[in-house]
Amino acid sequence: MIISGELSASNETGNVQKLDLGVVICKWCNQVLTTIPTNGVTKIYGECKDGACKESNHKNH
């Protein structure tokens, strides 16, 4: 079918390899929590579970 050809063409266009360039960093201890597949280098700030490191970091200071 002709539709099949169109699908193939669009698949070629969307043939972009996504790499794990997005990193989720804890905003309190700067620890890399996880990496996520994005199209560019992206830093996303999160925090460790329940913000526990927020308190411990405060104690260390």
Interface positions with Zn ion (CB under 5 A): 26, 28-29, 48, 53
Q: Which is nearer to Zn ion, 19 or 32 (CB)?
A: 32
Q: Which is nearer to Zn ion, 10 or 31 (CB)?
A: 31
Q: How far is the CB of 29 from Zn ion (least distance, A)?
A: 4
Q: How far is the CB of 43 from Zn ion (least distance, A)?
A: 15
Q: What is the dihedral of CA 14, 15, 20, 24, to 10 degrees?
A: 0
